[in-house]
Amino acid sequence: MIIRKKEHWFKMLFVWHGSVLPALLPRLLLLFVFSLGVVYFRGIVFSFKIPLNPAPLTLFGFVLALFLGFRNNVSYERFWEGRKLWGALLNTSRSLTRQVLTLGNTKNDTSVTEFIDLLSSFVFALKHQLRGTDPYEDLKDRLDGKKRETVLASKYKPAVIMKLMADWVREAKEGGRIDSIQQARFDENLDKLSDIVGGCERIVSTPIPYSYRVLLHRTVYIYCSLLPFGLVDTLGWFMPLIVVFVAYTFVAFEAIADEIEEPFGTEANDLALNSMCEMINATIHEMAGETIPVVQKSSQNIID
């Protein structure tokens, strides 16, 4: 994800990195060349003048804009739900860390570090599960040999780590370090972790219906292809520029919606999961009295 400081309005006109324009440029150039051909032949195809005028295209463009707005709202809702789930993950991680440090007779318990490492591992394992990447590098130093083998051999690693944390709570209860009420408080936050995992998995496993995406995609490009024939008689050689500008607006809206509907990826406008994981890892270790160096990154660079 790209995080920038608020820039001057004039500089915003020339922002390249992080915009969808680089991906759209080949399509817009193709449409520009096509529009030049329409102007050159005066809208005539095989001796037949295509009888289009701006009126129906204007009405159709308004309807298309409404559908694109709905599409973007659906995609942003998925993006924002993902962000809320990871915000809840930060809060729940802090709550669990506070509980393990303060509840019961665990102040000088060396297994507290084990629990915090499990919690940190859970966060990184969830990131890799959502992205479909290999978590070995992030987990190898946070888990001991037996736990590491168990987690890495599993398919749903965050769920397995949650079970290991629940085992820690059970052992603390059996060892007399916490009582039944405190155990129930731990279970409440572990249930919250389970809800967060389920919410993230719901977003990943339930994409926007494919038929809807195809319909909107086809409609956008058919509209952009017909637009030159409707404007050629009124705009002449100036028409290709207007057509490319209008097409950029419609196609860019579709591209942005496609990009943010899967918020856990690694594209420029997806959630900054790497930074979120590092922040959660740093805050829970700091609460435990440890110091975790946080790399300061420029606000002009890609975070993830």
Task: List phi, psi (to 5°) of 141.
Answer: -95, -5
Q: H or E stretch including 45?
A: strand 44-45
CB-CB contact of 50 with 243 (8 Å): no
For 200-237, b/e burial (b = at least 16 CB within 10 A) is bbebbeeebeeeebeebeebbbebbeebbbbbbeebee
Residue 46 is predicted with a pLDDT of 74
Task: List phi, psi (to 5°) of 8.
Answer: -65, 145
CA–CA separation, 231 and 205 (whole Å): 43
CB-CB contact of 292 with 285 (8 Å): yes
Residue 51 is predicted with a pLDDT of 78
What pTM did the predictor assign?
0.85
CA–CA separation, 293 and 194 (whole Å): 29
Distance from chain centroid for Cα 75: 10
* Local confidence pLDDT in tens for the 304 residues of the chain: 656 667 766 677 777 776 788 889 999 999 999 999 989 888 787 777 777 778 888 888 888 888 888 889 999 999 999 999 999 999 999 999 999 998 877 665 668 889 999 999 999 999 999 999 999 999 998 998 889 999 999 999 999 999 999 999 999 999 888 889 999 999 999 999 999 999 999 999 998 888 888 988 999 999 999 899 888 888 889 999 999 999 999 999 888 888 889 999 988 888 999 999 999 999 999 998 887 665 555 444 444 5
Q: Scanning the structure block, which residue is given the tokens 């039944």?
A: 180
Q: At residue 33, what is the residue type?
A: V
Domain map of the chain by residue range?
9-287
SS3 content of the chain, % helix, strand, coil (to 5): 70, 0, 25
Characterise 133 by phi-psi region: left (phi > 0), alpha (psi -120 to 50), beta (else): beta
